[in-house]
Structure 1
């Protein structure tokens, strides 16, 4: 079956729906003669009469009735497919697949996306947490959040936020080991490092015109920032953490900042998509809520 036959079937179904060739021609934007040619080709191709034509009306033959049912089902399926595409374009529906660094698994991402899911019951979510780079196309990821400097690629990146880092410790650790008062005193303390994040064990602290750079040998090293944070919460050392990810722990007194009068380099966050245009509504809405929830973060 070729495209010409499919079009002829659509014309035939429109004739039946409209009740006349003239009405069908008008709705399709073609001439009555063109409609008649489509019907004639169908009958010649299949060797059956589909319509009995009189000057007053058109009557379906038995073969025409059966054929019309198939044509109508085809058109209904096409309309449904078109509606589904429109829904994907206009409303957040379907499965939203997001990739993000493991640190966002601590609740930052869920807090940002929960209102979107609550407001759109036709939307589902699948999250992938990776600290290493993953192939978005292979995983069919709609939207990725990536941290740090991005490599050149065909992906489209939009700046999301700049996250401030904080050196933190638990009250248990501070009670036992004391609180460092200068950057140099950090070297006298146990350090919990994150191996997967380049630069987290190399500290650059700035206060006014003064800059101090330290290389912190870790007592505990992890390739996952959540596990490193867990050791800090247990009182086993100091660690460098993104402030938005530990904000609740800081507010609750489970962690406390160290050398808060010194500033640290910020970490840029990016929203990355594999396509340049035609983004479905689920991606556009997710980007809006993430920008609203996380965008412009500069908490000092």
Structure 2
């Protein structure tokens, strides 16, 4: 490492024309610069500079050596420029991981930003199972709910409330606003389950009143999107996020049940494997996601970019 430093000092001496000028450019004293050059010559066993009272001149060996040192310092400058560009301007490939249900939001959230940066490429890894960010080289993952302890960096983008929903066909002959919790508990329920899940407890509240329900699940799946599809088909009652169900409720494919009851919220996170300074492509993608979520129905407490 000391040799690289001395080579950079030598190149600066040649380019600045004197050790004093090189010292000013590097923030070193002229004597410190002279010492670096003497150590470089001693290590190489050759004279690089011929010194006189008025000027320095390169020996033949010094000329050849300078060309390589100049190439090294130029490469270092280009490397620093690449880092600055990554910091200030998005480029390269952005690798995003998300669950199946959120994948449909990536295009409207990032489409305009991607169009503005044609040098940027996007790769999406879509899977309901957690993806190892390091092994899969993921730059940014969208995660939901409570996050496990890890060394990753997480930024909360907002939250989406849980809505109790059913399709008009399931509600046929029933008045949605007249249904009681007891009547709903006796109905057909659909739920998201994962390996190891047992009985699902649903926590609900209305004002100061709080209840814990344990409905009997008739249909279960490990995929939230399939639960919503079966709910829209009229197969039963399901807890769906406002983020997922808002459009279906607005268009009449689903109806909200017990709207005066609260069923909690689900946090939305942007997770990255780096805690240090993020490259521009990651910072700007997170900002675009924040802006998008902030104007979506079914999202509350959205963070501002």
Shorter-normalised TM range: 0.7 to 0.9
When structure 1 is superposed on structure 2, of 290-299 and 279-288 the one drifting more is: 290-299
Stretch of structure 1 that moved more, 67-76 or 125-134 = 125-134
Whether the 8 Å contact between 2:167 and 2:254 is mirrored in structure 1 is: yes
1:78 deviates by 0.9
User: Do the aligned partners of 2:158 and 2:299 also contact (CA within 8 Å) in 1?
Assistant: yes
The equivalent of 1:84 in structure 2 is: 82
Distance 2:254 2:199 in 1: 18
* 1:241-252 map, 5 Å: 241-252=240-251
Say if 1:19 and 1:232 are closer, same or farther in 2 by CA, change over 3 A. same
Aligned to 1:226: 225
TM-aligned CA distance change 1:35 to 1:207, over 3 Å: closer
- Are residues 1:113 and 2:115 paired? no
Aligned residues: 295
In the TM superposition, residue 81 of structure 1 has moved relative to its aligned partner by 1.5
SS in 1 for 2:217: coil
Structure 2 SS opposite 1:168: strand
User: Mapping of 1:152-163 within 5 angstroms?
Assistant: 152-163=149-160
Query: Mean Cα displacement is larger for which, 222-231 or 95-104?
Result: 95-104
Long gaps (5+) in structure 2: none
TM-score of the pair, normalised by structure 1:
0.79
| Larger CA deviation: 205-214 vs 10-19 | 205-214
Following superposition, the deviation at residue 225 of structure 1 comes to: 0.8
In the alignment, the residues of structure 2 paired with residue 102 and residue 229 of structure 1 have an alpha-carbon distance, to the nearest angstrom, of: 12
Shift in alpha-carbon separation, 1:7–1:210, aligned structure 2, 3 A: closer
For residues 81-115 of structure 1, what are the alpha-carbon distances to aligned partners after superposition, in whole Å with 9 as ceiling and x for unaligned? 2122223333434444444443312x234433334
User: Aligned partners of 1:291 and 1:258: how far apart in 2?
Assistant: 29
Whether the 8 Å CA contact 1:146–1:272 is kept in 2: the answer is: yes
CA shift, 1:241, in A, is 1.0
Is 2:299 the counterpart of 1:297? yes
C-alpha deviation, 1:10, in angstroms: 0.8
| 1:182 is the counterpart of 2:180 | yes
- Aligned residues of 1:194 and 1:200 also touching (Cα < 8 A): no
